[in-house]
């Protein structure tokens, strides 16, 4: 048996009673540390409340999931994922591979940044287009396809959720991600990203230090808005109710 467990955004505080029972009865527990970041000391706290060793599952173990699936043939295995169990493609790939190998799979859902951040801004969920990831770039890696996806959303009058790349145990700083967008704009020259372009920055969503900031490109870069974990929304045209909600739910810095 393979249990894929979404831990949510608050560490052990968002662990459900059902998930707790599953973990207590698991033979081996893996904690995925590749696709997202959990609150500090989450693994330590989990270890204390369930009194079991927890194996850190890095990129290599997740992308080459033979060990997990092999163990799941004979034992009750749990894979803990920060956020929702299946938001990342790689977790569905593990799920698919397990099923192909005749392993029973159960999914335990939870909240993710994709739902929590978007909903807390007050923007309408159905007005979001394709989710886009902003990677760290360098001289030999500058994927303008990122810009193209955002522009398609823009043309279709859809908001864009931008997920920031990870480096170690923190996400890219929002102002750094915005600078990457500026550099892409300089190459594409479609006037999608300019000083007056409005954005919403979410920092430490679902924690006591949560910030949801409505600002513009120029101000975000000038103030070097930072924090981790963080994500950015590039809104399309707001309707009247969205404008009302943004003014009520976001910190306005313009």
Domain boundaries, the chain: 2-111, 114-253
- Is the pLDDT at 136 greater than 90? The verdict is yes
**pLDDT tens, 167-195?**
888 999 999 999 999 999 999 999 999 99
- pLDDT at residue 110, as a whole number: 97
- Is the pLDDT at 220 greater than 90? The verdict is yes
Tell me the mean pLDDT in the region 93-114. Answer: 97
Please name the residue ranges forming H helices in the chain: 17-24, 42-50, 59-63, 66-74, 89-100, 113-121, 145-155, 174-188, 217-222, 240-249
CB 182 within 8 Å of CB 228? no
Tell me the mean pLDDT in the region 2-24. Answer: 97
How do beta strands 166-167 and 170-171 pair? antiparallel
Output the CA angle 170-63-91, nearest 5 degrees.
75
**pLDDT tens, 46-85?**
999 999 999 999 999 999 999 999 999 999 999 999 999 9
Task: Say if residue 84 is preceded by a cis peptide, omega within 30 of 0.
Answer: no
- pLDDT at residue 168, as a whole number: 81
Q: How far apart are CA 217 and CA 254, in angstroms?
A: 10
CB 253 within 8 Å of CB 213? yes
Mean pLDDT rounded to a whole number for the chain: 96
Helix axes 42-50, 17-24, angle to 10 degrees: 70
Q: Predicted confidence band at 141 (pLDDT cuts at 50, 70, 90)? A: very high
- pLDDT at residue 240, as a whole number: 98
Q: What percent of the chain has pLDDT over 70?
A: 100
End-to-end alpha carbon distance in the chain: 52
Tell me the mean pLDDT in the region 228-240. Answer: 97
CA 59 to chain centre: 16
- Is the pLDDT at 139 greater than 90? The verdict is no
Q: Predicted confidence band at 40 (pLDDT cuts at 50, 70, 90)? A: confident
CATH of 114-253, one of 3.30.950.10, 3.60.150.10, 1.10.3720.10, 3.40.190.10: 3.30.950.10
The structure's pTM equals 0.93
- Is the pLDDT at 86 greater than 90? The verdict is yes
- pLDDT at residue 169, as a whole number: 83
CATH architecture classification, 2-111: 3-Layer(aba) Sandwich (3.40)
- pLDDT at residue 113, as a whole number: 94
Q: What percent of the chain has pLDDT over 90?
A: 93
Tell me the mean pLDDT in the region 223-229. Answer: 95
- Is the pLDDT at 241 greater than 90? The verdict is yes
Structure-token pair, residue 114: 């994709």
CA atoms within 13 A on the CB side of 218: 5
- Is the pLDDT at 28 greater than 90? The verdict is yes
Q: How far apart are CA 85 and CA 92, in angstroms?
A: 9
């Amino acid at each position: 048996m393979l249990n894929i467990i979404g831990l949510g955004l608050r560490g052990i505080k968002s662990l459900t009673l059902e998930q707790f029972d599953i973990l207590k009865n698991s033979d081996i527990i893996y904690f995925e540390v590749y696709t997202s970041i959990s609150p500090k000391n989450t693994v330590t706290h989990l270890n204390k409340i369930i009194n079991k060793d927890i194996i850190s599952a890095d990129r290599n173990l997740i992308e080459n999931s033979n060990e997990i699936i092999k163990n799941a043939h004979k034992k009750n295995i749990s894979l803990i994922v920060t956020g929702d169990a299946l938001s990342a493609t790689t977790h569905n790939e593990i799920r698919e591979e397990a099923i192909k190998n005749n392993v029973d799979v159960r999914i335990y859902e939870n909240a993710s940044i994709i739902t929590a951040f978007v909903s807390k801004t007050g923007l309408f969920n159905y007005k979001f287009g394709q989710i886009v990831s902003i990677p760290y770039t360098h001289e030999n890696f500058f994927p303008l396809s990122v810009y193209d996806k955002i522009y398609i959303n823009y043309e279709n009058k859809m908001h864009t959720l931008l997920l920031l790349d990870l480096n170690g145990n923190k996400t890219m700083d929002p102002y750094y991600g915005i600078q990457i967008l500026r550099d892409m704009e300089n190459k594409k020259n479609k006037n999608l990203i300019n000083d007056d372009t409005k954005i919403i920055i979410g920092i430490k969503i679902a924690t006591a230090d949560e910030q949801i900031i409505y600002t513009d490109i120029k101000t975000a870069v000038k103030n070097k808005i930072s924090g981790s974990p963080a994500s950015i929304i590039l809104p399309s045209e707001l309707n009247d109710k969205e404008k009302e909600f943004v003014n009520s739910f976001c910190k306005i810095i313009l």
